[in-house]
Amino acid sequence: MVKTDGGARDLPTLAEQIQFWDRWNTEYRTSDIHPFMARQRDIAVDVARHEQLRDARILDVGCGTGWLGHALLPFGKVAGTDLSPSSIAFGRNAFPGVDLQCGNFLELALDGPFDLVVSADVISHVYDQARFVQRVAELLRPGGVFLLMTQNSFVWNRSSHLQPVKPGQIRNWPSVRRVHALLARDFHVERITSIVPGGDRGILFWVTNRYVAGGMRRLLPGRDTWTHFLENMRLGRELVYVARRR
């Protein structure tokens, strides 16, 4: 049994997880990049620029079709891994510059070390999160950067848009404290922020509804000041961690 946000349940088999991600990626990741994905892409590009990466070795874990890794090609050679065979097949055609490999990240033979590892919305769907982080650390060079983006449970648990856990899906959202504990041995966390404010229940109703947001935009200088404030308060739908390998 695995305890997730939906309670204790049988852990899906690997085959069931693959079926789920085949369906999910076909529905959400084989069309144009939408604004939320664009924010994730921009975060990853900003990190690569900040690191002044050139001819770097980059790994995208849980890459789906490889759309995020594709955005990092100007900084070096990019590899990507994903469980979903259909997503990898689509990505090899759509993003031929990314070296895409299909399989379980915890078991794939990968040629490290890498300078940058990125992972967007993956760790929350992994049962053995400690091994996941350990594997990232094994593949990163000392001083390399791990960009971890994952769902913010505080926000999603207060969202009317949250869907039930589906067959084959693991939903195991780690808290900020849990992520810190997972990273503590091998990483130094340099920055935590969030992107795309969300949630519409409980206390979040009073800070994200359109009336409050509209009023704050009129009161504060700059069109996006209120949005940036909420993101810095970690009230975005997505938490963003920048961690450096010790």
Question: Is 206 inside a domain boundary?
Answer: no
Residue ranges of the chain with pLDDT lower than 70? 1-9, 223
Question: Is 229 inside a domain boundary?
Answer: no
Question: Is 84 inside a domain boundary?
Answer: yes
Q: How far apart are CA 103 and CA 233, in angstroms?
A: 36
Question: Is 177 inside a domain boundary?
Answer: yes
Q: What is the pLDDT of residue 128?
A: 96
Q: What is the pLDDT of residue 90?
A: 96
Longest dimension (CA), the chain: 54
Question: Is 210 inside a domain boundary?
Answer: no
Q: What is the pLDDT of residue 7?
A: 46
Q: State the residue range of the domain holding 107.
A: 2-197+235-245
Q: How do strand 236-245 and strand 187-197 relate by DSSP bridges?
A: antiparallel
Q: What is the pLDDT of residue 226?
A: 85
Question: Is 230 inside a domain boundary?
Answer: no
Q: What is the pLDDT of residue 92?
A: 97
Question: Is 208 inside a domain boundary?
Answer: no
What's the total number of domains in the chain?
Answer: 1
Q: How far apart are CA 96 and CA 237, in angstroms?
A: 31
Q: What is the pLDDT of residue 9?
A: 56
Q: What is the pLDDT of residue 1?
A: 37
CA of residue 48 relative to chain centroid, distance: 16
CATH of residue 165's domain is 3.40.50.150
Q: How far apart are CA 199 and CA 115, in angstroms?
A: 35
What are the residues facing 57 on neighbouring strands? 77
